[in-house]
Structures are given as structure tokens and as C-alpha cells.
Chain A
Amino acid sequence: MITIENLVVSYNKRQNVINSLNLKLSKKTIHGIVGLNGAGKSTLLNAIYGLKSIDSGVIKSENKKMSKKEIAYLVSENYFYSNITAREYLALFKNTNFDIDKWNKLFLLPLDTIIDNYSTGMKKKLAFMVILKQDKPVMILDEPFNGLDIETCRIIHQVLLKLKEKNKIIIITSHIIETLTNLCDYIHYLECGKIKFTKEKVDFKEFEREIFELLEKKNEDLIKVLTE
């Protein structure tokens, strides 16, 4: 269980991006984090991972300080070192039980080609393979489906459901709400640096309807004026 209590994170101490946030993330569960652009999703994930210093509050895993050793983090933007092949990159991460070639039957990547020549989707697949190879108890996936084709999205969907059963905590963000409602056990709505509400699977349909209605209503008048 990951426990976040009264978390405050700011940039330059001027304005809090995360503002007294409280959240509990249980094992064997996939948690979706939803929010509009600038709501603080990536900042929250960076803070959990330890990439962003926190101003106050605590992030604990099983009542101990959260450590990078427990987390595999897939960042939203693909970035790799130049002129190395995918096989070399994967080989950096130590896990003798992970058979690269067997897993690659799912992703069909040219492993002996340098990553610079990969497409956006291929880079995303490679980054996901690294996450799988790391095999950490906590997986943070920031926009994992961006740039992927339908088949790979489905594969990742299936893999994540299987991994969940292995007692993992999976935290995932996506701008496509349907992706999360199909996959997650809980969805946490982040607004102005706080979890505004959390919905369980049974409430997802209602949540989707509510959120779409709210957003459409918010911009309806302006769209009407602009398109007339």
C-alpha cells in the first residue's frame, strides 16, 4: 500500500502544483489518475518516484519511505541515448528471468537496430519492455498508450491486467478517459493539485457521463460563438 499524506509540491515556492494531496494506493489494483492539462498529474508522479522534491507531506510504501528501488517509471516522452540498439538498452537492466526475445514476440521490435531509427510507437513499446524487465512492485505509467497502434494498446491492456494479479500497484495516467475506465479499478480525479474525488469501477459509467457533460457545458457558449 502506498500512502500519500498532505503532499505539497511547488515550483519556485510560489504556487503549489500539488496542494495538500491525500491518496491511498492499494496492492493488486490499477489506479488511474485523470485531470486536465496542468492539473499536476506528472508532478504528482514525479514526486512519488522521487524526481521532484516535495515541500511537505509524506509518501510511504508499507510504512517505509518510498524508494526508487521499488518503482518502474514510464515517462510520457520517449527519450533514449543515441546510437545504441534496443537490445543493448534492454541489457542494461538486470533481470535474468526476463527473456527479451520471447517478450519481443508480442512487440515485434527490430532489437538490433539503433533506437534513433525507431518510430514514436516503437520507442514507446521499447520503453514499456524496459518497465516489464525491471519487474518492480510499483509501476508508474504516464500516458503509456500515446502513439501506439490498436493491437499494442490491447496487448499492454492484457499484460497490465495479468501483472495486477501479481500483487503489483499500477498507477496510470491517460488523456483518453475510455482507456482508463476499461482498465482501472479506481480513478482519481486531480484538480488544482488535489484529488477532487475517487470513483470505483461500478461508478465509471456515471463518471464518464458527468465529466463529458461538465466539459462540454463549460465550453459550449464559446464554441457556438466561434463557429457561427
Chain B
Amino acid sequence: MIIAFIKLRFMQILRTANGIGLLRFIFLLGLIAFIAFGIFMLTAEVLKSFYVSAICIFIITLIQIKRSDAQFLKINFIHFKLIYLTEYLLLMMPLFFCLCFHKQWTSIVSVVASTLLIINIDYSTKRKSLNTFIQRVIPLDCFEWKGGVRSTLVLIIIVWTIGLVTSFFVASVPVALFILGILPLNFNEKNEPLPMILSYERGTNSFLLHKIKLQIVLYTILCIPLIASFIFFFSDLWYIPLIEFFILTTTHIYIILTKYAFYKPNSKSNGSQTFGVIGAMGIIIPIFIPLVWVLSIRFYFKARKNLNFYLNDYH
């Protein structure tokens, strides 16, 4: 049964690969290889191998808490925990390979023991209907921010407050800006239903520009106090938060354009998710930034063409 299930998972991966196209799949493989190489190098040292293992365990814990098939597996399979375990161990095979290669036996034991504990976690997050002043001031047609802020409001407030209060430390504001810049990337993960984009009653170009404008305005409002505080304490380093802000803003624009370049109502697009990963990589690995800018131009035209099918009656 386990083997049949794993085969099923591989089929799912193959079909997803088929869905995103060969070139993008190769690109994604390249990214994975890049990360795998990073893991291989980091696991050479004892302390760093612990950090890498801890991050992997954290990711596996998130998967266990967030997985949507838990109820299905519990109802239909007696040995559902064995399925969890097999999946997680297979997922961590590259890590095990690296740890074995560098003979990091303590890390291996820790990862396996933690995985055995994780598969027993029977907890799922329930979404809360948070209706605060902040949700009310966000414009009605910026539903991505309304939804996104609702799910991450606590984190945003904590990061923003710590960033501002400790802005006399040189690294505080750049780190806060970085975290606050990454969070909105998820706001645009899902494609909205068609009535939502039709509700704007705008043509393609006007719709795209409106979306970009809203994103820039809201993100700027969030960042201005942090940037101002940083410049107040470190006026000679004024360009650091501004460059960071610029890179993150262009990444947000890229994510919006990617979303609508591959937009299909009521779904998550494989294409936009793959290219979204490239955008996110641009924030971490600077060599991707020019690629993100070039792709933004390409996706602007692709988004216009794609949305025109849906918004053609609003020109």
C-alpha cells in the first residue's frame, strides 16, 4: 500500500512537471540543485549541520500542520502515520545523503527522532476572522492585502514594532524590511474568482496598473516609518533601506504580473508558482534580480494578453 501511495506521489510530481513545461521544470531543477549544493557545503560543519537540520525539521512540521489530506488519509488508511513517515523521509533524502557524507551522525539521529515525533502531531490551524481597524482602512478592492494582513497581522505588528523600536541597531530595519517584503509575496499566491476581477470594471491595462499602484502604496505606507527611522540614526547609510525597498517593490510588481500572466479563474497556476519562486530567489540571491526585472517586462505583455480574454468587454 505504501509503495502504491509513493508511486501516486511520483505521478503527481510528474504531472505537475508536465504542467509547468520542460524549460521551467529544468530551471526549477537547477534551483533545487543550487539549494542542494548549499546544503552539502553547510553540512560539512557540525554546528551548521545542526542549523540545516533544524530548518528542515521546521519545514516538515509546517507541512504536517498545514497538510490538507490528513483527514482523507486518516479515514482511508489504517497506517496513515507510516505514509507520513515515508513521505517525510523521502523528502529529506538529499539532507540524509549530505549528513551521511559528512558523517554527521548526531544530526541524522536528531532528524529521524524529530520526524518520528512530528508524524504524531494531530493539529491543524483554524483560520480566524480577525476584523480590526487595519483591515477596515485597507481599500475594498485590495482584497489580497485584506486577506493577507488578516492571516499575518500578528507577525507584521511584531516585526514592524521590533524593527522600529530597535532601529538604532544598524541591522534592525533592513531585516524588518526584508521580512515585511517577503510576507506580501504570499498575498498574491492564489488566483481570485473571475467575478472579483470583473468587479473592477476596468480594461486590462488600467486593471494591471491599478493593482500595481495599490501594492506599491500599501507597501510604502508600511515601510516609510522604518526607513525614516533608519535614515534618522544612520544618515550616511541612507541608500541601504532605499535600495532594499526598491528591490522588494520590484519583486512585488513582478509577482503581480506573473500572477496575471498565468491567471486562470479559481486556481493556483503552476506557471506563476514556479516563476514566483524565481522572484523570491531574487531577494535572497542577487544574481536573480536582473532576471526578475527582465521577466517583469515580458510578463507585463503576457498578462495583458491573458487578461484581455476576460476583460475584453471593459475597454
Query: Are these two chains actual partners, yes or no?
Result: yes
Query: Does any Cβ of B come within 8 Å of A38's Cβ?
Result: no
Query: Does any Cβ of A come within 8 Å of B199's Cβ?
Result: yes
Q: Are B143 and A92 in contact, with the CB atoms below 8 A?
A: yes
Q: Are A117 and B314 in contact, with the CB atoms below 8 A?
A: no
User: Which of A29-37, A78-86, A155-163 has 4 or more CB atoms under 8 Å from chain B?
Assistant: A78-86
Q: Are A51 and B194 in contact, with the CB atoms below 8 A?
A: yes
Q: How far is the CB of A136 from chain B (nearest CB, A)?
A: 11
Query: Does any Cβ of B come within 8 Å of A145's Cβ?
Result: no
- In the complex, the chain A residue whose C-beta lies closest to that of B127 is A116
User: Which of A10-18, A66-74, A184-192, A203-211 has 4 or more CB atoms under 8 Å from chain B?
Assistant: A66-74
Which residues of A line the B interface, CB within 8 A?
Answer: 50-51, 53, 67-69, 73, 75, 77, 79-85, 88-89, 91-94, 112-114, 116-117, 130, 134
Complex: how many Å from CA A75 to CA B267? 14
Q: How far is the CB of A53 from chain B (nearest CB, A)?
A: 8
Residues on B with C-beta less than 8 A from A73 are 194-195
- In the complex, the chain B residue whose C-beta lies closest to that of A74 is B195
Which listed residue (B135, B147, B199, B313) contacts A93, Cβ 8 A? B199
| Contacts of B187-230 to chain A: CB distance below 8 A | 190, 192-196, 198-199, 201
- In the complex, the chain A residue whose C-beta lies closest to that of B266 is A79
Q: How far is the CB of B308 from chain A (nearest CB, A)?
A: 12
Q: Are B131 and A112 in contact, with the CB atoms below 8 A?
A: yes
Residues on A with C-beta less than 8 A from B195 are 73, 93, 130, 134
Binary contact track B123-151/A, C-beta < 8 Å → 1, others 0? 00011110100010000110110111011
Q: Is the interface of A mostly helix, strand, loop or mixed?
A: loop
Q: How far is the CB of A152 from chain B (nearest CB, A)?
A: 20
Count chain B residues whose beta carbon lies closer than 8 angstroms to a beta carbon of A: 31
- In the complex, the chain B residue whose C-beta lies closest to that of A72 is B195
Complex: how many Å from CA A141 to CA B143? 25
Q: Are A83 and B150 in contact, with the CB atoms below 8 A?
A: yes
Q: Are B151 and A83 in contact, with the CB atoms below 8 A?
A: yes
Which listed residue (A53, A68, A85) contacts B129, Cβ 8 A? A85
Given A89-B196, A112-B129, A116-B127: 20 more A-B contacts, CB < 8 Å: A50-B312, A50-B313, A69-B314, A75-B266, A81-B193, A82-B127, A82-B147, A82-B151, A83-B147, A84-B143, A88-B140, A88-B146, A92-B141, A92-B199, A93-B199, A94-B199, A94-B201, A117-B126, A117-B129, A130-B195
Q: How far is the CB of A45 from chain B (nearest CB, A)?
A: 13
Residues on A with C-beta less than 8 A from B144 are 81
14 A-B contacts, Cβ less than 8 Å apart? A50-B312, A51-B265, A51-B310, A68-B198, A68-B313, A79-B265, A84-B146, A88-B140, A88-B143, A89-B196, A92-B140, A94-B201, A114-B128, A114-B150
Q: Are A83 and B196 in contact, with the CB atoms below 8 A?
A: no
Residues on B with C-beta less than 8 A from A77 are 266
User: Given A85-B131, A117-B127, A117-B129: A80 and B199 within 8 A (CB)?
Assistant: no
Which listed residue (A80, A83, A85) contacts B148, Cβ 8 A? A83
Q: Are B198 and A80 in contact, with the CB atoms below 8 A?
A: no
Residues on A with C-beta less than 8 A from B201 are 69, 94
Which listed residue (B129, B140, B312) contacts A113, Cβ 8 A? B129
User: Given A93-B199, A112-B129: A83 and B146 within 8 A (CB)?
Assistant: yes
